[in-house]
Amino acid sequence: MKFFIDTAELSEVLEARDMGVLDGVTTNPSLMKKASERAGRAVDFHTRIVDICEMVDGDVSAEVTAVTFDGIMAEARVLAALHKNVVVKVPLILEGIKAIRALRIEGIRTNCTLCFSPMQALVAAKAGAQYISPFLGRVDDIASDGVQLLKDIVTIYRNYGFTTEVLAASIRHPIHVVEAARMGAHVATMPLGVIKKLLLHPLTDIGLARFLEDWKSFSA
Ligand code: G3P
């Protein structure tokens, strides 16, 4: 399973990369806004994407903001030209699906975002998306079941042998990651806080404290 970090914050990308388990990065307009707010100035979108690409050896999703076919195509070509690791994030709307197909033909890889139903995911795969991003946390937020959505997508893709990679997104806690791994989702994109939580177990801390204590008295 690949681990991506869901951020546009360079310090967070570095911290996750230095753990040695980072395979890629996903960004979106809201994460860009957050990074700008933290920096106290408007972060240049293209520069930030290139900076991230140079930090991580893996795919980096950069999202279009156009909602027409022509607009999405134009933005996607510019984003894809920034760096070989860029994957263009395209919303799961009619114009987006048309663009995903056309971009596939041009050799530009896409991450189809804002997926909330198995049928949307099926359409995205048929159009030729490299990744599909179901938003687990946002489905849970409306008292529905994000993990079930993910399960349905994985099953449907397996049934037909689609090569589109399932990228579990909008992950809020480690259980989302466990469930995604259990069903064989290809990627989980997580905030830094969730990546760090994957390591935690109280018995590890208690066990380590005991080992160190025993070592101290043994070697004294
Ligand atoms: O990258 C998109 C997705 O992960 C958004 O997450 O927490 O804003 O629902 P969230």
CATH number at residue 106: 3.20.20.70
Res. 220: pLDDT tops 80: no
Nearest atom within ligand 1 for CA of residue 26: 1
CA of 97 to the centre of ligand 1 (A): 20
User: Confidence band (pLDDT; 50, 70, 90) for 218?
Assistant: confident
User: Confidence band (pLDDT; 50, 70, 90) for 148?
Assistant: very high
Which residue's CA lies nearest to atom 9 of ligand 1? 170
Amino acid at 48: R
User: Confidence band (pLDDT; 50, 70, 90) for 27?
Assistant: very high
Q: Domain limits at 37?
A: 2-219
Res. 38: pLDDT tops 80: yes
Nearest atom within ligand 1 for CA of residue 61: 1
Amino acid at 181: A
Mean pLDDT over 12-32 rounds to: 98
Catalytic center residues: 89
User: Confidence band (pLDDT; 50, 70, 90) for 94?
Assistant: very high
Which residue's CA lies nearest to atom 3 of ligand 1? 170
CA of 216 to the centre of ligand 1 (A): 46
Angle between helices 118-127 and 146-160 (to 10 degrees): 40
Res. 219: pLDDT tops 80: no
84 CB neighbour count, 10 Å cutoff: 9
Instruction: Count how many domains the chain has.
Output: 1
Q: Write out residues with Cβ below 6 Å of ligand 1.
A: 6, 26, 28, 135, 137-138, 169-170, 189
Full-model pTM: 0.96
CA distances from 159 to 128, 156, 166, 201 (A): 16, 5, 14, 36
